[in-house]
Amino acid sequence: MKHGFVKVAAATPDIRVADVAYNTEKIREDIVEACENGAKLLVFPELCVTGYTCGDLFTHDVLLEAARKALLGLAEFTADKDILVFVGVPLDIEGKLYNVAAALNRGKIIGLTTKTFLPNYGEFYEMRQFTPGPAEAEYISFEGDRVPFGPQILFQATAMENLIVSAEICEDVWSPVPPSIGAALEGATVIVNCSASDETIGKDTYRRELISGQSARLIAGYVYANAGEGESTTDLVFGGHNIIAENGTILREARRYHNEIIYSELDIRRITAERRKNTTFQREEERTLIRVPFYIESGKTELTRTFPKRPFVPSDDQARALRCEEILTIQAMGLKKRLAHTRSKTAVVGISGGLDSTLALLVTARAFDMLGRDKKDIIAVTMPCFGTTDRTYRNACEMSRKTGATLKEVRIADAVNIHFRDIGQDPENHDVTYENSQARERTQVLMDIANRTGGMVIGTGDMSELALGWATYNGDHMSMYGVNASVPKTLVRHLVQYAADETEDTELKRVLYDVLDTPVSPELLPPKDGDIAQRTEDLVGPYELHDFFLYYMLRFGYEPSKIFRLAETAFREEYDNVTILKWLETFCRRFFSQQFKRSCLPDGPKIGTVALSPRGDWRMPSDACAAVWLKDLGNVSLMED
């Protein structure tokens, strides 16, 4: 359970209707298998000890007595097992029959969760045999023990206090007000569901959306175990559609019509971090629900779930195209409003032939189309200097013309040399002053052209550069509206790729593809043999790593050691641990030391869940210290998991 991960499982055992001994043996086999695979939480389907489809056989004492004895035997079977098990069973309590999810741990029955909503429509007629559970849980005497009985019981792990599990049964989650809502509001971070939901056309899609939606609404993990093959097919077919979800994301899903166990790891720290950030998730101040401790050992959880290398970029081609279109629209809509509000006559864009300025130009052109304005009022300014290469210069000029912008060239080398003379800078000393003087001269040129033309300067810098502080303060750091300010570098590339794929202008397409093939560089140092001499990723590290670090640090507040572990899993084919650790340390140091640049950012549109605007998503003192984060990272050896 290191870093908050806990392995969970949903099992659909092979059963025979009303054959309690057979069913119990299959349940035992699945418990053994789940333990061998490291699961700490295992969920079985509704009434699986007997089978859900027993009908009026549920009224027979012989079946109920067999089920009760089987439950006691299963509880005893868990005595030496490091796991919490939920199993569905019919129980006669004081002359009434209840549909129950029994919680088993360390040889004991630690809770009996009752079904609240009994379906009595269509193919379901549970009220013929069963009684709805009580409105609130209470303690009852069961086989000589005092056991909580009723809905919304909370089971809390002693080794991991934020692992709080609550159960509901099938129809409960389909109801307008599921019991899991109240359980989550009192602290449940994982909801389990013992279910028997039959298959009809399209029901799998609805079921999937229901479970993922409930996990999102509750900001919780959700483990759903469904009845499968072995149930009676007199009128119905059950598909064993098991689902493990976390905060709206399906982590694992069983193949339908194949009885099996599915596994994944829930990230409890991620869930609690999300709840801390979400101020509309209001915990119940007065605790009314019964809490029961359960015991599992704390230790390392082997990870089987995957973590996307590019969390800002959808992996599916169609989804990525839709995302790109939406982002470009958001960026352009933000700029459209700002241009209209300020009555700007022009939009001034510094164009370098790199990815960021290309995206800014494309967004500006789209905003002008939305406004119905002539794109000749977009002034695309190229400012060659010491590091400019022929390749980027040609691309900057060509794309400016092809988008309909007015191209303006201002060579700044003479002005920068005069500035060097004025401040006593040796032009042969290629230090930070040499580089930043060019960036600030370019910004001055853009600002003054905007003043002369009654326009505004459109910022080109992206969120990844802002996170690392890879921007010249009051140079490319500054603009009048930063359209790329919340777009990470890995996403910038895909937005330009999307624009290239979509355009019907073959010449523009060719230029955009060449921009995509050009190394990322500020081009502030003289070229070597005509090629770019300064490659950003050689200096600050690969942007795909930094965007990965940025996502998990800001989105979920993960500690560096956990981010390292996820990066090791995601990038094991691309980078060794030494490289990952090196750049993660760089990220942490730069992120803290460069906050002063983010504290005075120009306005710009938010496009995703992670943003760095000091007015909105990220409010951090400019002199905050990184010591705690670096210490956490220092405690991780390269081979530690």
CB of 309 closer than 8 Å to CB of 575: no
All domains of the chain, ordered by start, with CATH?
2-294 (3.60.110.10), 317-634 (3.40.50.620)
Q: How do strand 138-142 and strand 108-114 relate by DSSP bridges? A: unpaired
pLDDT tens per residue, range 214-231: 999 999 999 999 999 999
Q: What is the Cα–Cα distance from 516 to 19, expressed in whole angstroms?
A: 64
* Mean pLDDT along residues 607-630: 94
Q: How much of the chain exceeds pLDDT 70, in percent? A: 98
Cβ(328)–Cβ(362) below 8 Å: yes
| Residue 196 reports pLDDT greater than 50 | yes
**pLDDT number for residue 413:** 95
Place of tokens 């050896």: 637
| Four-residue CA torsion sign, 536, 538, 541, 547 | positive
* pLDDT digits 0-9 by tens, 561-584: 999 999 999 999 999 999 999 999
pTM of the model: 0.89
What would the pLDDT profile of 244-269 be if each residue is shown by its tens digit?
A: 999 999 999 999 999 999 999 999 99
Residue in 26, 35, 40, 46 annotated catalytic: 46
Tell me the C-alpha distance between 344 and 470, whole Å: 29
Q: How confident is the model at residue 532 (pLDDT cuts 50, 70, 90)?
A: low
Among candidate residues 636, 625, 620, 609, the one with its CA nearest the CA of residue 249: 609
Q: Identify whether the C-beta of residue 191 lies closer than 8 Å to the C-beta of residue 180.
A: yes
Interval 358-382: pLDDT, tens: 999 999 999 999 999 999 999 999 9
- Tens of pLDDT along 103-159? 999 999 999 999 999 998 888 888 899 999 999 999 999 999 999 999 999 999 999
Q: Scanning the structure block, which residue is given the tokens 């839709």?
A: 322
Give the pLDDT confidence of 291-331 residue by residue, as tens digits: 999 999 988 888 999 899 999 999 999 999 999 999 999 99
What is the per-residue pLDDT for 641? 40
Q: Does 115 qualify as catalytic in the annotation? A: yes
C-alpha 233/C-alpha 231 separation (Å) is 6
440-464 per-residue burial string, b: 16 or more CB within 10 A, e: under 16 = bbbbbbbbebbeebebbbbbbbbbb
Model confidence at 164, in pLDDT bands (50, 70, 90)? very high
Which secondary structure element, helix H or strand E, spans residue 98, and what is its range? strand 96-105
The two most distant CA atoms of the chain are separated, in Å, by 101
Output the DSSP codes for 438-500.
HHHHHHHHHHHHHHHHTEEEEE---HHHHHHT-S-TTTTT--SEETTTT--HHHHHHHHHHHH
| pLDDT of 640 higher than 60 | no
Q: Which of 35, 48, 54, 170 is catalytic?
A: 170
Give the number of other Cβ atoms within 10 Å of residue 57's Cβ. 16
Q: Summarize pLDDT for 497-509 with one digit per residue, the tens.
A: 999 999 999 999 9
Note the pLDDT of residue 527.
77
Which residue out of 26, 40, 81, 115 is catalytically annotated? 115
Distance CA 441, CA 474 (A): 10
Cβ-based neighbours of 125, under 8 Å, separated by 6 or more = none
